[in-house]
Amino acid sequence: MIKKLFVAVIAFLAMTIGTKAQSKDETAVTNAVEQLRKAMVDADSVMMDKLTSSMLSYGHSGGHIDDKAEFIQKIVSGKSDFVKLELPEQTVAISKNTAVVRHKFNAVTNDNGKPGEVHLSVLQVWQKLHGQWVLLARQAVKIQ
């Protein structure tokens, strides 16, 4: 009986060591990233506008950099059409009113009616303005 209890305690500790609860800001940033992901799939220009800074610098893996208007226009027009978008392996680090988010970017696309797939690593910089987190910058690189 004691051996089973010892094994259970060790298993519990192994699962919890190294994990920590997210802070309120980390949770808010995580939620904002998810809202933006959903808005990109839904081509929701109102939500994309709300979640992005007027100073947005959106860097693509091919080197092109969109401003806010171009980023939103490409998605709404279907030039960039995300059928499915997943953001695994996400990390969030907060420093005052700035958040650094890293994740993979796996998408099924239908850009201009042409099916495809995208697999990237992404760095995002979010800024807290007037109590709301907005995307300030994003840079993607192709996964080799």
Contact 120, 104 (CB under 8 A): yes
pTM: 0.84
At 29-63, the pLDDT tens digits run 999 999 999 999 999 999 999 999 999 999 999 99
Give the pair of three-digit tokens for residue 23: 């802070």
Cα 118 from chain centroid (whole Å): 15
Residue-level pLDDT at 4? 53
Q: For strand 132-142 and strand 52-59, is the pairing parallel, antiparallel, or unpaired?
A: parallel
Predicted local distance difference test score (pLDDT) of residue 3: 55
Fold of 20-142: Nuclear Transport Factor 2; Chain: A, (3.10.450)
Q: Going from the first residue of the chain to its last (144 residues), give the mean pLDDT of each consecutive group of 10, the final group possibly shorter.
A: 50 45 92 98 98 98 97 97 98 98 97 95 97 98 90
Q: What is the pLDDT of residue 6?
A: 44
Domain spans of the chain, in order of start: 20-142
The torsion region of residue 12 among left (phi > 0), alpha (psi -120 to 50) and beta comes to alpha
DSSP E strand stretches across the chain = 52-59, 65-66, 82-86, 91-95, 98-111, 114-129, 132-142
What are the structure tokens assigned to 26, written together? Answer: 């980390």
